[in-house]
A = this chain, B = another copy of it.
């Protein structure tokens, strides 16, 4: 349990920029959902923080890295405030570039599934559980956001383009790279790019995951 320092995949400053960019995009998506639901400025801020930092906080709690980085690094904590402020004033403009946001969100998804897997591995987890925590890092914040805002969690929806699967692939590839001692800036970039591209392609082409065998033609009996 005396873990090494979590690894930095890329050059220190580059990684910080990437981290904060991913956090900013996730936060903007959370703030935008709050605006659509007509939440007030507090709700917008809370949903931005939860969406951006929730996945990493869950991962850090599960691997014993407390207090989580989100609570010790002011950049992590402050970035969602910026995103919430921006969306508070400029939400019509932000709505208009939502397809651009979707692409940036895909970049966050790709980045965090790789970073999350590497951090969990550095804390001594085996490759498969580390990959599971990488996926949690990438999609956990969004799941918390959806639960708080009373949406069906994106990670469970069959009627949306696949979201969790690209993260699963990116995390799996990362775990394999680490296991075979091939993990470095170049291969990490390749894993991020692969998960990112897969998600963007899924969005563009409307890829969906199969529902239960012989049930694909049915519709949900539930309220969704």
Contact = CB atoms under 8 A, between A and B. Distances in A.
Contacts of A57: 62
A11 interface: no
A76 to B, nearest CB: 9
A50 to B, nearest CB: 10
Contacts of A90: 213
Interface residues of A, number: 69
> How many monomers of this protein are in the complex?
3
A222 B149 CA distance: 10
Interface in A52-84: 57, 61-64, 66-68, 71-72, 74, 77
Given A40-B209, A87-B212, A156 B152 contact: no
A195 interface: no
Most buried by B among A90, A210, A213: A213
Given A39-B157, A132-B77, A208-B40, A46 B150 contact: no
A184 to B, nearest CB: 25
A52 to B, nearest CB: 13
A202 B212 CA distance: 31
Interface in A125-183: 125-126, 128-129, 132-133, 143, 147-150, 152-153, 155-158, 162, 164-165, 168
